């Protein structure tokens, strides 16, 4: 060793202002004598987490900060942090002190001493590990997710949902183009993306309870997990974002039907105005659902953004609806191919149109490639 950097500790943070200084203190203690840096990756937290981390960095050059603007997502935060270091080894650890940083030196030793080893994973579910004060509901959800992901994985991990591990940085850089960046389980993503079986070891740790700040993942855990699994299994055939957009569109169609039924049969309104109102309701419903689910990583916030987004979404979808009718009518007239095929073709073209244009104009403010 020539005195260069040994390890980068990547810490994804969102609203963890109260925890950053404590974590650096603990890293300092745990990694005494090692050459490390900590990279906080913050998604522009409203509580000023990035500012708190920068204050620390001014006094301690081992601390670095990446502040991402207009984006959310645990996986992409971890990936960007891992790609922002020259250290040969990189660890990912939560910023809320729930992971046991005292394992880091042992992980480091294992990887430095065994060149064959690709990564070391902190596990809550092996002998000696534990999940602290989780309630039964959370433990049960986690058990189901663990089982499911082990089916998809080629490796027999005890804790594939772990967010605490250390890996060779070069390996991550090689795999990044193949990673979905969707959802929150970066380890699962890395393990399933690798074309060869990765050689790993596991170390037990007990998941600590959170003292400050609050969990961001409880409500979306199940959904994001399913999205990540879908992406791994079928993402190449139908991209996950399009699948979600289409599913939301299907729900929108149901909303449309219900509103038409209520207005047309329940009020004196004639059919055409009933349909017009139903269309507006369905588009609005779709806009908010897509904003909350399909595009949650770049969701629009605040009255102004939401209003602009809603207007552009309605414009895009109106054009899509006209195209839908036009194409269906054309096919029905020219090909005489039957009403169902014509109607389906119209719907498909409109769906692709709506998806492509809304991802560009409604949710594309930052010109980012979807899924990256
Ligand atoms: N940069 C970034 N960090 C996040 C995001 N969501 C969660 N985190 C951080 O990821 C870590 C784990 O999240 P947490 O909410 O504690 O999940 P839980 O422990 O499973 O309840 C914490 O350090 C969070 O601050 C996000 O969207 N972006
Ligand atoms: Mg946590």
Q: What is the pLDDT of residue 368?
A: 39
- Report CA(257)–ligand 2 centroid distance (Å): 42
Domain boundaries, the chain: 7-234, 240-361
Q: What is the pLDDT of residue 183?
A: 60
Which of 82-96, 143-157, 234-248, 294-308 reaches the highest mean pLDDT? 82-96
- CA of 308: how far to CAs of 12, 89, 245, 304, in Å? 30, 44, 19, 6
Is it the case that residue 370 has pLDDT exceeding 50? no
Cβ of 12 less than 6 Å from ligand 1: yes
The answer to whether the CB of 38 falls within 8 A of the CB of 27 is yes
- CA of 102: how far to CAs of 31, 49, 106, 201, 291, in Å? 8, 23, 8, 16, 40
Q: How many CA atoms lie within 13 A of 31 on its CB side?
A: 23
- Report CA(54)–ligand 2 centroid distance (Å): 22
In this predicted structure, which of 54-63, 180-189, 225-234 has the lowest mean pLDDT?
180-189
Cβ of 186 less than 6 Å from ligand 1: no
Q: How many CA atoms lie within 13 A of 295 on its CB side?
A: 29
Ligand 1 probe mutation, 69, 74, 81, 214, most atoms within 8 A of CB? 74
Q: What end-to-end distance do the CA atoms of the chain give, in Å? A: 35
7-234 is a CATH 3.90.550.10 domain: yes
Cβ of 296 less than 6 Å from ligand 1: no
Is it the case that residue 220 has pLDDT exceeding 80? no
Ligand 1 probe mutation, 13, 38, 76, 207, most atoms within 8 A of CB? 13
Is it the case that residue 344 has pLDDT exceeding 60? yes
**Residue 250 token pair:** 């299907």
Ligand nearest to the Cα of 138, by number? 1
Cβ of 40 less than 6 Å from ligand 1: no
Cβ of 159 less than 6 Å from ligand 1: no
Q: What is the pLDDT of residues 288-307, one digit of tens each?
A: 999 998 888 888 988 999 99
Q: What is the pLDDT of residue 365?
A: 63
* Residue having the nearest C-alpha atom to atom 23 of ligand 1: 95
Q: Cα separation of 74 and 184, whole Å?
A: 5
Helices and strands, number each (H, E), in the chain: 12, 7
Q: Cα separation of 304 and 69, whole Å?
A: 17
Q: Is 42 helix (H, G, I), strand (E, B) or coil?
A: strand
Unique residue bearing structure tokens 């689910």: 293
Q: What is the pLDDT of residues 307-341, one digit of tens each?
A: 999 999 999 999 988 888 888 888 877 766 677 78
**Residue 167 token pair:** 């890996």
Q: What is the pLDDT of residue 154?
A: 63
Q: What is the pLDDT of residue 217?
A: 66
Unique residue bearing structure tokens 């409500």: 219
């Amino acid at each position: 060793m020539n005195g260069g950097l040994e390890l980068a500790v990547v810490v994804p943070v969102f609203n963890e202002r109260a925890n950053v200084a404590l974590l650096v203190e603990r890293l300092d203690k745990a990694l005494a004598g090692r050459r490390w840096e900590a990279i906080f990756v913050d998604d522009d937290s409203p509580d000023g987490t990035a500012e708190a981390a920068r204050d620390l960095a001014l006094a301690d050059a081992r601390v670095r900060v990446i502040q991402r603007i207009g984006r959310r997502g645990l996986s992409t935060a971890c990936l960007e942090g891992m790609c922002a270091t020259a250290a040969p080894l990189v660890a990912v650890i939560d910023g809320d002190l729930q992971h046991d940083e005292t394992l880091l030196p042992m992980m480091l030793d294992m990887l430095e001493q065994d060149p064959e080893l690709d990564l070391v994973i902190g596990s809550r579910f092996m002998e000696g590990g534990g999940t602290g004060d989780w309630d039964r509901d959370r433990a049960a959800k986690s058990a189901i997710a663990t089982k499911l992901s082990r089916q998809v994985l080629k490796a027999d991990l005890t804790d594939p949902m772990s967010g605490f591990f250390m890996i060779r940085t070069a390996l991550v850089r090689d795999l990044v183009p193949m990673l979905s960046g969707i959802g929150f389980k970066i380890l699962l993503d890395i393990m399933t993306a690798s074309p060869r079986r990765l050689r790993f070891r596991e170390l037990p740790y007990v998941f600590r309870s959170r003292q400050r700040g609050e969990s961001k993942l409880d409500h979306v855990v199940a959904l994001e997990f399913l999205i990540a699994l879908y992406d791994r299994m079928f993402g190449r055939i139908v991209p996950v974002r399009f699948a979600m957009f289409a599913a939301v569109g299907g729900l929108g169609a149901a909303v449309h039907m219900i509103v038409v039924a209520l207005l047309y049969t329940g009020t004196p309104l004639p059919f055409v105005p009933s349909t017009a109102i139903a269309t507006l309701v369905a588009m609005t419903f779709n806009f908010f659902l897509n904003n909350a689910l399909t595009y949650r990583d770049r969701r629009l916030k605040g009255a102004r953004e939401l209003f602009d987004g809603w207007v552009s979404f309605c414009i895009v979808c109106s054009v899509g609806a006209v195209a839908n009718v036009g194409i269906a009518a054309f096919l029905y007239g020219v090909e005489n191919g039957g009403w169902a095929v014509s109607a389906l073709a119209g719907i498909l073209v409109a769906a692709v149109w709506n998806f492509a244009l809304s991802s560009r104009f409604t949710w594309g403010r930052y010109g980012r490639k979807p899924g990256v």
